[in-house]
Amino acid sequence: MKFFYILANQIVTVLLSSNTVTTLTFNNEIVNCDYGVSKSTLDFKYRRKRTSISLIPRSDGFDTNATCFMKDGKIYLFNLKYSKERFHKHIAVFDAETSKGGAKVYEDSTIRVFDAGKNYFIENKTKTKIKVNESPIDKTGVSSKWNPININGKEVFL
């Protein structure tokens, strides 16, 4: 099971495959979940007293967004993408805390990555936007902590 520590209102990419059901489990009740494709492309079902969602891909090649509204008022945003090679199967979503600093865990000519507790703090060293785990970062940003992370389409193991 993958554990995602994310900030509410921050987009996280979830990779899905049409041959596997993916489950998102939250620590609070889901009031509603909206997504931008038809049920013939992607279907979902609430599970476990509305604390989990099973995402059921019905076709290949989709790229859409989903918004989950929680009973405690938090909103979680997901980019749902089709992937042949790698995909997520079981995801536990936990709240992350914003933190700046910590030990540097990676650096190259474009980016600096710092351990920030439950997530990574990212510094972009270029003048153009970069993509870290499919989220655009202009100067600084926070990314969910998982390994490897994807920087401009390249997987980096930390």
Domain boundaries 2-95, CATH class = mainly beta
Q: Are 141 and 6 in contact (CB under 8 A)?
A: no
Whole-angstrom Cα distance, residue 30 to residue 12? Answer: 17
Whole-angstrom Cα distance, residue 110 to residue 118? Answer: 23
* Burial group, residue 56, by CB count within 10 angstroms (0-12, 13-18, 19+): middle
Which residues, listed in sequence order, are joined to residue 91 by a DSSP beta bridge? 2, 24
- Indicate the pTM of the whole model: 0.59
Whole-angstrom Cα distance, residue 121 to residue 113? Answer: 6
Question: Tokens standing for 142?
Answer: 């926070």
What does the pLDDT read at residue 52? Answer: 92
Check whether 143 has a pLDDT greater than 70: yes
Q: Among residues of the chain, what percentage have pLDDT more than 70? A: 88
Which tens digits make up the pLDDT trace of 5-36?
A: 676 667 777 778 777 888 888 888 999 988 87
> Which residues, including other chains, have CB under 8 Å from residue 123's CB and lie 6 or more apart?
111, 112, 113, 114, 139, 140
Range with lowest mean pLDDT among 24-28, 55-59, 83-87, 106-110: 83-87
Q: Determine phi and psi for 54, rounding to 5 degrees.
A: -100, 120
Check whether 147 has a pLDDT greater than 80: no
What CA–CA distances, in Å, run from 61 to 17, 152, 154, 155?
9, 20, 20, 21
Where in the chain are the domains?
2-95, 104-151
The average confidence (pLDDT) of the chain is 81
Which tens digits make up the pLDDT trace of 84-105?
A: 777 778 888 877 665 555 788 8
DSSP string covering 31-59: EEEEESS-TTTEEEEEETTTTEEEEEE-S
Residue at 84: amino acid letter: K
